[in-house]
Structure 1
Amino acid sequence: MIRRTALLLLLGTVGPAAAAPEPPLSALTLVGPPSVMFKATRDACDGADVPDASARAFRDASGALALFGMHYRNRALRGPDFDRLKLDCTVVLDSGEKPDPALYDDRSWITAAWTEDGRAVAALVHHEYQANEHPGRCRSKVYMECWYNTVVAASSTDGGRSFIRAAPPAVVAAAPFRQEVGQGRHRGFFNPSNIFADGRWRYFFASTTGWDGPGSDQPAGVCLFRSDDPADPTSWRAWTGTGFTAAFPDPYRKPAIRPETCKPVAPFPTPVGAVVRHRSTGAWIAVFMARQGEGFPQSGFYWTASRDLQSWDVPRLLIAGRTLYDDPCGAKGLIAYPSLIDPASPSRNFDDAGDTALLAYVTLRVEGCTITSDRDLLRRPVALKVWP
């Protein structure tokens, strides 16, 4: 997933609004130093255990915590609270590295989860078909020219202790075309945010590199999806600008005659790390990472706020630092994968926050121009303020 993030530079087409800055809707303030939640060189079960996605947590039926955000051999950090999380070496969802793209079982990351009762858990999986690793599947040997990405679903009936894939695969969001030997660039939907609730509805953001086609041009950007039943992967629909009506089914089983499109939501130039709802005001707060340029004065983590999930205010810098979208050469380290979690949230899925929360994120050590697997999952306390 290190290499996959480099391609997100392709999404840098949607920046902050060019209009004069408006008064901020919210304020996020760092109020304490970082502390380590997981250290790969100390806490790993094997070489696959590195933080490689934004942290996602939920409470199981017993009240214990499960936190995901690791690599494509999916394991969870577990414990009674956020101060006592430890990596459970049980693999809850492995990656089959299978050469058939129609199976959606090459490399998979659990990137979002939702549970109502702590037992039945619906997961969104960032699936990468890395065609350059499979002979005859890509004319190029360049990773970025062969990458075919899809959001698929997995489910658990034991509180996240194990996940299964549906047969046939349960596709949540796929590009309306199959993997191509000569595709030449990264394609598809990828990097779901956390799932978050508003009344009967559940939402998540996902990124797409877009596509061109007869009567169906999909711009690159971040799209908003909605469902009233996350346990049903076919129920998710994306915002089109007029309603939540766009479906992106499996092109291997239901080819689209006229592909639907979603309307990207500004001001996100890259995948949304996390969204939480401020409990006392109802405002939404999102965090993400961005590189310097295209309206962003510095590389680092940014936040923005919204009243309706579609109109967001001007992003503001929370932490400055080189990210996975920056050139790593010469850097001592990078920062990546921000998320917001309030340990005091009454929500089983930690999709809301009070006036304090934890910013969870990953630091990655660099050697020369190489991003290494020496990574830490950190947390840092932040104060949240939203104006009426």
Structure 2
Amino acid sequence: MTRPSRLAALGPVLALGWLLGAGSAPAAPEPPLSALTLVGPPVVMFKATRDACDGDDVPDASARAFREASGAVALFGMHYRNRAFRGPSLDALKLDCAVVLDSGGQADPAAYDDASWITATWTEDGRRVAALVHHEYRANEHPGRCRSAVYLECWYNSVIAATSPDGGRSFSRASPPVVVAGAPFRQEVDQGRHRGFFNPSNIVGDGRWRYFLASTTGWSLPGSDQSAGVCLFRSDNPADPTLWRAWTGTGFTAAFPDPYARSPKRPATCAPIAPFPTPVGAVVRHRASGAWIAVFMAKAGEGFPQSGFYWTTSRDLLAWDQPRLLLAGATLYDDPCRAPGGLIAYPSLLDPDAQGRNFDDTGDRAILTYVTLRTEGCSITSDRDLLRRTLAIKVWP
């Protein structure tokens, strides 16, 4: 995640993403879908310089939406003072200035209340909402917690749980906090690099099961070597966040609980999923074909001829086909000094006519939502727009 312009540094989640490994699962033998094509010009959904409630109001995560019990839509994707867009449909949303989950800036890493983003939601009835929260402990901002002053060298990240009893009007963490995915070690004063799990995708449903993907920087411990990459988690009840388990290569059995509550004797590991070099922006299921579609950012390099947004498809969420470019442009993994036109980030896919309450399915047309970030010299500013573009989806004849 990134900070507003008053804190000009590039957030570590973004700085490290393009360094992650490509994953270990085999590529799908053939693409289930033939094309995703952007149709028409972008439309501004939110302009920070015009529509913000305060100086922390910038789009800073991939968009997540659900339908409330009334049928109205709530959408998240803002900064660590979490607010929601609300309206009768995806086509008519306005930012609600009420803070639904704030960040406490606490110095104790065991509190999991430093900087928090709502990055995934799931609801069965539109009233009780389970959320996955991307939590950053920024040790360099707390005296004595990190030997370095460099943000990236002090970053300790976890995915934690939050719940709302009122349709997303307010969220709270459990006490003590429930860690859905955490590194099997505590934050260290001299850790020297970014650590942990971060940037969960949206949650999707398939029969009785619910899934999300999250990134990890990996680790090397006695008896536990975790590769960096993107891991797939599964549960049959998101309302109980202790039930999430990650794919190990043979089954969904890996748990990553709070290392401050107990230290596992033999830490679990998950099997990274190819071909994702960075966090997954969103996953949706195409209703007609049954294919899963994922979008993500990538920097130009091995396997990616251009920087921009890429898409890939799968039949089972484990084996994905060769990524294809959807929208070219410098992303948050590129050098902002070399992007005078600004950056693009945080892609998501949403179908206004989705049949599911959680917008995890799509027809042959959807919208790509994403953020444009203006740069000044080598700094990323808080002058940002949340955009949408119509997307046409084509299956093989």
- Give secondary structure in 2 for the equivalent of 1:34: strand
CA distance in structure 2 between the aligned counterparts of 1:145 and 1:95, rounded to whole angstroms: 21
Q: Is residue 293 of structure 1 aligned with residue 301 of structure 2?
A: yes
CA distance in structure 1 between the aligned counterparts of 2:220 and 2:42, rounded to whole angstroms: 44
CA distance in structure 2 between the aligned counterparts of 1:310 and 1:217, rounded to whole angstroms: 21
Give matches, 1:1-388, under 5 Å: 1-2=1-2, 3-9=11-17, 11-14=19-22, 25-331=33-339, 332-387=341-396
CA distance in structure 1 between the aligned counterparts of 2:365 and 2:314, rounded to whole angstroms: 18
5+ residue gaps in structure 2?
Answer: 3-10
> Deviation at 1:32?
1.4
2:25–2:272: 8 Å Cα contact kept in structure 1? Answer: no
2:25–2:319: 8 Å Cα contact kept in structure 1? Answer: no
2:69–2:126: 8 Å Cα contact kept in structure 1? Answer: yes
- Give secondary structure in 2 for the equivalent of 1:31: strand
> Deviation at 1:292?
0.1
Report the CA distance shift for 1:251/1:39 in structure 2 as closer, same or farther (over 3 A).
same
1:16–1:295: 8 Å Cα contact kept in structure 2? Answer: no
- Give secondary structure in 1 for the equivalent of 2:14: helix
- Give secondary structure in 2 for the equivalent of 1:234: helix
Letter of the 1:74 counterpart: N
Deviations 1:306-364 (A, max 9, x none): 00111100000000000000001132210000000000001110000000000000000
> Deviation at 1:294?
1.5
1:26–1:304: 8 Å Cα contact kept in structure 2? Answer: no
CA distance in structure 2 between the aligned counterparts of 1:18 and 1:88, rounded to whole angstroms: 43
Q: How many residues align?
A: 388
Letter of the 2:98 counterpart: T
Report the CA distance shift for 1:114/1:21 in structure 2 as closer, same or farther (over 3 A).
closer
> Deviation at 1:271?
0.2
Aligned-residue CA RMSD (Å): 1.7
CA distance in structure 2 between the aligned counterparts of 1:225 and 1:58, rounded to whole angstroms: 20
CA distance in structure 1 between the aligned counterparts of 2:322 and 2:18, rounded to whole angstroms: 21
> Deviation at 1:10?
5.7
Deviations 1:30-60 (A, max 9, x none): 1111000111000000001000000000000
- Give secondary structure in 2 for the equivalent of 1:217: strand
Deviations 1:89-128 (A, max 9, x none): 0000000000000000000000000000000000000000
Q: Which residue of 1 aligns with 2:7?
A: none
Q: How does the TM-score come out when normalised to structure 1?
A: 0.97
CA distance in structure 2 between the aligned counterparts of 1:18 and 1:234, rounded to whole angstroms: 29
Q: How does the TM-score come out when normalised to structure 2?
A: 0.95
- Give secondary structure in 2 for the equivalent of 1:340: strand
2:119–2:201: 8 Å Cα contact kept in structure 1? Answer: yes
5+ residue gaps in structure 1?
Answer: none
Letter of the 2:141 counterpart: E
Where in structure 1 do 4 or more consecutive aligned residues deviate above 3 Å?
9-12, 15-26
CA distance in structure 1 between the aligned counterparts of 2:285 and 2:356, rounded to whole angstroms: 11
% of aligned pairs identical? 79
